[in-house]
Structure 1
Amino acid sequence: MAQTVLIAEDDADIVELLSLYLAAAGFQVLTAADGKQALATVREHPVDVALVDIMMPCMNGFDFIRAARAFSDVPIIIVSARTMPADKIVGLDAGADGYISKPFDPLEVTAYVRAVLRRASMRGTDAEGGDAPQAASGTGAEMGEQGSPSPSSSVLTCGDLSFDTERLVLSRLGRAVPLTAAELKIMAAFMASPGRVFSKDQLYTCVNGEPAVGGAGSVMVHISNIRAKLEDDPLRPRYIRTVRGLGYRLDA
């Protein structure tokens, strides 16, 4: 059964990005937009680990941790833009198990979640007098000997582009291209069917999970941003070509 990660965060873009990566790594994801909602979720649902922002409405992250610790030992990782040592000390003293600073690499967050869960599992086994378990396997990248993700076997390629469908990383000539969650969804569609022409409406559905109703114009912005990150000359794109009157296609 998939382990459950609670994301307590009021920034919808961050929630979407983390949810995308964690779901791809095999976790079930619950979300809460404020501390009170997060506390209710921990009370009402089995949660294996919580990712918690500090600056949230209704109840901040510090207060959430203190309240949760009154009845739960769920591992809690703070994910915050506050990077002062005092903030980290307060968070850890309140009962957090780790602290990740924004901006973050979502792959690092996913690896951190696995590490915390492994430690919690080992503590539970030791308490029962059993042997420590092996690192749990999952659909995402596992940690190597040096703490970095091992290469994925589920990689789509198109020319000098590669897309790791497990780690959700697009690479060009072996170097990762930083993309937003929406841009990753578009590139996943392109890489799965290189040469296929996608209309703006189809790409909008890839991003939002629902048909476009007059809002497909946002796809043009995403395509422009992807080209700016991917192409040597975005004005003369080599990878993502415009097919006039139809949409876009990925060329090798």
Structure 2
Amino acid sequence: MSTILIIDDDKDLCELLRDYLAAEGFSVESVYNGLDGADQAISGSYTLVVLDVMLPGINGFDVLRKIRAASKIPVLMLTARGEDVDRIVGLEMGADDYLPKPFNPRELVARIRAVLRRMEATHETQSNTGRIIVGDVELIAGTRTVLRSGEKVDLTTVEFAILEILLRQVGKVVSRDDLVKQGLGRTLTAYDRSIDVHVSSLRKKLGPSSGQSERIKTIRNIGYLYSAAM
């Protein structure tokens, strides 16, 4: 059974989500402040964290920073509706997905299941020790390692998934729809820019090619392409 940790100071919401998620087969625990939440999240006792941005003491971004310094546990952030900046910052800091408040609990369950499916797919991939080498970038599936010119590049689970998809189809355009389905495990919805934020973060971490050209090219109104010419 997957165990979900909810970090949110809204006790009524935590109680509602605990009941709803329990009915969906999840084990749920709640923490109402950021400091305790960060400590519990990195304890190794949980499968996924649901993290609110607005918390007393330290906010959700500080909690996420503490979690990412010690763990790669999937984190789904809850943001205020309309706060696009919060969503972008959260994704750039390593959140796996976000959901704006208020939300339908069914949507939360769908997002959680999508993240967990992506985790399972990643674990299955780890049994494959195959390598993908494009220019100065090497992706090693078995150990989930990415090297650029021999130096390790630290990627989030989502960024690794997106890069693997693009490298396996190097020189070909991958639509945003396909990247969201394969990389995020869900369907692209209107005004959802999360895939673009993940790609932007991936570009920054990989840097330009040896020829100073963009590795991941944007194909306007379609998707992205990892350039074969390096």
TM-score tier (shorter)? 0.5 to 0.7
1:16-49 Cα distance to aligned partner (Å, 9 max, x none)? 1111111111111111101111111123342111
Amino acid in the other structure paired with 1:102: K
Amino acid in the other structure paired with 2:48: V
Number of matched residues? 131
Structure 2 unaligned blocks of 5 or more: 130-185, 188-230
Please report how far the alpha carbon of residue 83 of structure 1 lies from its aligned counterpart in structure 2 after TM superposition.
Answer: 2.8
Amino acid in the other structure paired with 2:17: L
Match in the other structure for 1:109: 108
Match in the other structure for 1:120: 119
Please report how far the alpha carbon of residue 103 of structure 1 lies from its aligned counterpart in structure 2 after TM superposition.
Answer: 0.7
Please report how far the alpha carbon of residue 78 of structure 1 lies from its aligned counterpart in structure 2 after TM superposition.
Answer: 0.6
1:222-241 Cα distance to aligned partner (Å, 9 max, x none)? xxxxxxxxxxxxxxxxxxxx
Matched position secondary structure for 1:23? helix
Match in the other structure for 2:9: 10
The alignment's C-alpha RMSD in Å is: 1.7
C-alpha separation between the residues in 2 aligned to 1:71 and 1:65? 10
Please report how far the alpha carbon of residue 80 of structure 1 lies from its aligned counterpart in structure 2 after TM superposition.
Answer: 2.1
8 A contact 2:79–2:87 mirrored in 1: no
Matched position secondary structure for 1:52? strand
Match in the other structure for 2:43: 44
Match in the other structure for 1:83: 82
Matched position secondary structure for 1:128? coil
TM-score, with length taken from structure 2? 0.54
Please report how far the alpha carbon of residue 82 of structure 1 lies from its aligned counterpart in structure 2 after TM superposition.
Answer: 4.8
C-alpha separation between the residues in 2 aligned to 1:125 and 1:99? 25
Please report how far the alpha carbon of residue 84 of structure 1 lies from its aligned counterpart in structure 2 after TM superposition.
Answer: 2.0
Q: How does 1:54-203 map to 2 (within 5 A)?
A: 54-129=53-128
Match in the other structure for 2:32: 33
Amino acid in the other structure paired with 1:68: I
Structure 1 unaligned blocks of 5 or more: 131-145, 148-252
Matched position secondary structure for 2:70? coil
Structure number with larger C-alpha Rg = 1
Matched position secondary structure for 1:83? coil
C-alpha separation between the residues in 1 aligned to 2:114 and 2:107? 10
C-alpha separation between the residues in 2 aligned to 1:45 and 1:19? 20
C-alpha separation between the residues in 2 aligned to 1:13 and 1:47? 21
Please report how far the alpha carbon of residue 73 of structure 1 lies from its aligned counterpart in structure 2 after TM superposition.
Answer: 0.6
C-alpha separation between the residues in 2 aligned to 1:88 and 1:43? 22
Matched position secondary structure for 1:88? helix
C-alpha separation between the residues in 1 aligned to 2:68 and 2:124? 21
TM-score, with length taken from structure 1? 0.50
C-alpha separation between the residues in 2 aligned to 1:76 and 1:44? 14
C-alpha separation between the residues in 2 aligned to 1:125 and 1:37? 32
Match in the other structure for 1:190: none
C-alpha separation between the residues in 1 aligned to 2:28 and 2:13? 13
8 A contact 2:81–2:102 mirrored in 1: no
C-alpha separation between the residues in 1 aligned to 2:68 and 2:108? 22
C-alpha separation between the residues in 2 aligned to 1:76 and 1:83? 20
